[in-house]
Chain A
Amino acid sequence: MSRFGSTDDREGVLPPRVARAVELLREEPEVPVAWRDDLVRSATTLHSRRPWLSAAAAVLAAGVCAAVALGHDRGARSTDGTRGAFGETQRGTAVAALAATAPETAPVRFTVEAPNAAHVSLVGDFEGWNPAGVPMSLDADGHTWTVDVRLAPGRHAFVFSVDGGLRVDPRAPMAGDDDFGTPSSVIVVPQSGEH
């Protein structure tokens, strides 16, 4: 058994020079104060942009959800006057448009083709990579699943959960990183006035 905490006898005792190396490698580096403060400041900034993180905002969040549900149609129609045009011309990928009534977020329609699926949901960083995701609805065509959400301007990573399996959007750019070991797609929601 290694003196360095090995729990597996088959690993045996580390050779002396490797053991010495481990000893030195375990020394904890100093955490730079500026680095730590910058990190906390960045997180605080994120927090201020995400009222759902606040307990005080929990009730407000419920109100926002309702407002979004009501506001979506207004936002979609504000684009070109028809709800269908919101995503139909770019079916299968994520389409973003700004809502005139809600400057902080934009209505976004996600669609994916999954004709044989029983359950499809949208999973993304905008809702904390919650594995349950946002349930999607099967369209009348019997193979297209759709969900409308509101997203803040900026870059968002997402995947579709199709009967429990994660699937990227083939018509959206791929994220260059994979926080949880799973490739994801990217949608960029423009700032007001950028589109």
Chain B
Amino acid sequence: MTDAELVRCALDGDARAFTTLVDRHAAACLRFATRMLGERADAEDAAQQAFLRAYKALASYEERTPFRSWLFAILVNRCRTALVQRARRERRIVLDEEQVGSVRVEHDAVSHELREEIEWALRSLRAEQREAFLLRHVEQLSYEEMAVVTGAGVSALKMRVKRACERLQVLLRDGAEEDR
């Protein structure tokens, strides 16, 4: 059954249809929110809010848009809101490389260390670059889908992705050299 068919079933009162939509998209939503926000608890909150808001607005879903894009549009906004709220709450804008480097913890497992390095590099990106990079290369959305999801133009999104890749290349290379 397609997502659009499940939406119709949910609107007709079939609670299992919405559960199926959750099961189908929860992992990707949690992945994006976790990579975007960095904190698992924040990510779970954002993803849950996105699903509930999507549920409340199911009647406005139009089938010409892939359900995933529609859901991600809500999720992206939830993540943006969470970042703003966190910035206000913590009065902490962006961690600079020196600060982050000073609190990095040594781990024996190389893969764990690599993951931490990647997370650190992601956090070092500007939020809009991180968002575009994750949507493009991790969630594998087309630029046209990304435009729907983010409200930004395709050219701007391509530039954000390009700059994110360039920045990540530098950050990850520097991180690797520091480890030697």
**In the complex, what distance in Å separates the CA atom of A24 from the CA atom of B34?**
13
For B22, list chain A residues within 8 Å (CB): 36, 39-40, 43
For A8, list chain B residues within 8 Å (CB): 143, 158
A15 nearest CB neighbor, chain B only: B169
**In the complex, what distance in Å separates the CA atom of A10 from the CA atom of B151?**
22
Main secondary structure of the interface of A (DSSP, over half): loop
For B28, list chain A residues within 8 Å (CB): 28
Binary flags per residue of A146-161, CB closer than 8 Å to B gives 1, else 0: 0000000000000000
Chain A contact residues, CB within 8 Å of chain B: 2, 4-8, 10-11, 14-15, 17-18, 20-22, 24-32, 35-36, 38-40, 42-44, 46-47, 53-57, 125, 127-131, 176-181
> What count of chain B residues pass the 8 Å CB interface test?
53
Q: Check A180 against B51 for contact (C-beta < 8 Å).
A: no
Q: Does B173 contact A (CB under 8 A)?
A: yes
For B44, list chain A residues within 8 Å (CB): 32, 35
Q: Check B30 against A21 for contact (C-beta < 8 Å).
A: no
**In the complex, what distance in Å separates the CA atom of A60 from the CA atom of B19?**
25
Q: Check B13 against A47 for contact (C-beta < 8 Å).
A: yes
Chain B contact residues, CB within 8 Å of chain A: 10-13, 15, 18-19, 22-23, 26-28, 30-31, 34-35, 44, 48, 51-53, 55-60, 73-74, 77-78, 81, 114-115, 118, 121-122, 134, 137-138, 140, 142-143, 151, 158, 161-162, 165, 168-169, 172-173, 176
Q: Lowest 9 CB-CB distances: which A-B pairs, in order?
A: A128-B59, A54-B13, A55-B12, A28-B27, A17-B172, A129-B60, A128-B60, A21-B118, A181-B151
